[in-house]
Amino acid sequence: MTRDRLRLAVPNKGRLLEPTLELLRAAGLVFEDHDRSLVARVRNHPLDILFVRTNDVIEFVRDGVADLGVTGDDLLAEKMIELPRIRSLGYGRCRLAAAVPTDALPQGLDDLAGKRIATAHPNATRRFFDQRGTAVEIIALSGAVEVAPRLGLAEAIVDLVSTGSTLVMNGLRPIGDILESEAVLVGGSDPEGATHERVMAIDAMLAAVIAARDRKYLMMNAAVGRLPALEELLPGLASPSVIPLAHGGMIAIHSVVDADAIWGLLPRLRAAGATGILVLPIEKLVP
Ligand code: AMP
């Protein structure tokens, strides 16, 4: 179906809502809060944002009601619906992990052979153990999975874990991962389709923000003779920019570096002769 305005389906509450809104706004999209409405009209781009239940995003995209959607890898795996994954979004990270009561015997996933596993992800769990050739009994629940062992409903659970503190609070111990998940942008399956180019344009906007999040812009001054040593420390996107300064023999060096590397890098840059080092956030980055 061809529409004037693209539609992006996003979760209307829950863990993926806030980081999704933050990403869309950081990409420069301007829209009203969704509080009272299902649809938010983006004012500066031909895009409507549909706020739907986390669990329904995939169906909205599959059925063509939305051209794009934000969901989780875990939900894609569970629904067994093949939708093109356009891009991982870098938030909503968690893993689907198997856990047993702290004092139970199983140490690894293969020790679950013949056991009952309670989970709200029965399809992903069944497929995982089938592929492994480990026979287990799946008890499908829609919530409160972590209390199943205590109630005598199952010997183990498979549930989403990010920090692991919920498991600990429920007297459970993780013994292995079924899959890793993060938020993902999914889109219509037709690269020849009428909306394809516009879908890719939205993806490019989000990609520029995501790429910028992991990087910092680094500026420093140095005597020109220090350049080779400093350049060695700065892998960056390409070669650093080197700008002559007004006064004798000094240069400014600008470079883009991994955010995680900054704290390790600063003392080494200082030691190699850099002064006046500035670290700046990057708003958008198109490599
Ligand atoms: P919601 O139930 O609406 O909060 O959204 C659940 C989705 O958030 C899951 O399907 C995952 O993709 C993602 N997620 C990220 N971390 C966690 C976590 N620790 N527990 C549950 N869901 C998580």
Residue 190 has pLDDT above 90, yes or no: no
Q: Is the pLDDT of residue 194 over 90?
A: no
How many CB atoms sit inside 10 A of residue 37's CB? Answer: 13
Task: State residue 189's pLDDT score.
Answer: 64
Spell out the domain ranges in the chain: 6-91+182-212, 94-181, 215-281
**Are residues 122 and 206 in contact, defined by beta-carbon separation less than 8 angstroms?**
no
Cα(228) to ligand 1 centroid in Å equals 47
Place of tokens 């890898």: 73
What is the pLDDT, as a whole number, of residue 287? Answer: 85
- The percentage of residues in the chain with a pLDDT greater than 70, rounded to a whole number, is 97
pLDDT score for 158: 98
Given a contact cutoff of 8 angstroms between Cβ atoms, the answer to whether 262 and 216 are in contact is yes
Task: Please determine, for residue 54, whether its predicted confidence score (pLDDT) is greater than 90.
Answer: yes
The mean predicted confidence, pLDDT, of the chain is 94
Distance 263 CA to ligand 1 centre (A): 31
Q: Which atom of ligand 1 is nearest to the CA of 71?
A: 12
Phi, psi of 96 (to 5 degrees): -95, 110
Report which residue type is found at 279: V
Is the confidence at residue 172, as pLDDT, over 90? yes
Tell which CATH architecture fits domain 94-181: 3-Layer(aba) Sandwich (3.40)
pLDDT of 1 over the 60 cut: no
C-beta atoms surrounding 241 within 10 Å: 13
DSSP per residue, the chain: ---SSEEEEEESSSTTHHHHHHHHHHTT------TT-SEEE-TTSSEEEEEE-GGGHHHHHHTTS-SEEEEEHHHHHHHT----EEEE-S-S-EEEEEEEETTSS--SGGGGTT-EEEES-HHHHHHHHHHHT---EEEE-SS-GGGHHHHTS-SEEEEEESSSHHHHHTTEEEEEEEEEE-EEEEE-S-TTSTTHHHHHHHHHHHHHHHHHHTEEEEEEEEEGGGHHHHHHH---SSSPEEEE-SSTTEEEEEEEEEGGGHHHHHHHHHHTT-EEEEEEE-S----
CATH H-level superfamily of 6-91+182-212: Periplasmic binding protein-like II (3.40.190.10)
Condensed to tens digits (0 to 9), the pLDDT of residues 11-52 reads 999 999 999 999 999 999 999 977 767 999 999 999 999 999
Other CB atoms within a 10 A radius of the CB of residue 102 amount to 11
What's the CA angle centered on 86, arms 7 and 70, to 5 degrees? 50
- Highest mean pLDDT among 134-138, 186-190, 246-250 belongs to 134-138
The CA distance from 138 to 254, in Å, is 56
Residue 192's pLDDT is 76
> Do the domains spanning 6-91+182-212 and 215-281 agree at the CATH topology level?
no
Nearest residue to 214 (alpha-carbon basis) of 259, 180, 183, 160: 259
Q: Which atom of ligand 1 is nearest to the CA of 11?
A: 3
Q: Is 165 exposed, middle or buried (0-12, 13-18, 19+ CB in 10 A)?
A: exposed
Flag whether pLDDT at 167 surpasses 70.
yes
pLDDT at 63 over 90: yes
Q: What is the CB < 6 Å shell around ligand 1?
A: 11, 14-16, 54, 72, 74-75, 92, 94, 160-162, 181
Q: What is the distance between the alpha carbons of residues 30 and 26, in angstroms, rounded to a whole number? A: 9
Write down the CATH number for the domain with range 215-281: 3.30.70.120
pLDDT band of residue 125 (cuts 50, 70, 90) is: very high
Instruction: Give, for ligand 1, the residue of 12, 15, 93 to mutate: max count of ligand atoms closer than 8 Å to Cβ.
Output: 15
What pTM, to 2 d.p., does this model score? Answer: 0.91
Q: What is the pLDDT of residue 34?
A: 72
In this prediction, residue 33 carries a pLDDT of 79
Ligand 1 centroid to Cα of residue 182, in Å, is 9
Beta bridge partners of 174: 99
pLDDT at 236: 63
List pLDDT tens digits, range 134-158: 999 999 999 999 999 999 999 999 9
Q: Quick one: pLDDT at residue 36?
A: 66
Written as six digits, the tokens of 251 are 């240069």
